[in-house]
Amino acid sequence: MNIHNEIIKELKSKGAKGNLTAETQFSSIGLDSLDLMDMITVLEDRLSIFVPDDKLLEIKTIKDLENVIAELTK
């Protein structure tokens, strides 16, 4: 499973448009903290992981989320 593709797919389902790269900040595509939390909850269910609250504060870009998920799926 490609984590990046899963994140992009979920972002597009939330209405994100344009070129989404690893450096894309969630705030720059109109995702507020509630939208981000909703998306993370969906990814947690899909990937059978749990993102701790302290990690949530670190997530600002797509790459940040990829790194957190990669850590949790090791």
- First-to-last alpha carbon distance for the chain, in angstroms, is 13
| 22 close to 62: Cβ distance less than 8 angstroms | yes
Which of 72, 74, 27 has its CA nearest to residue 54? 72
3-14+24-72 topology per CATH: 1.10.1200
Is residue 15 scored above 90 in pLDDT?
A: no
Is residue 1 scored above 70 in pLDDT?
A: no
pLDDT in tens, 58-70: 899 999 999 999 9
Residues sharing a CB contact under 8 Å with residue 55, sequence separation 6 or more, in sequence order: 68
Q: What's the pTM?
A: 0.87
Domain boundaries, the chain: 3-14+24-72
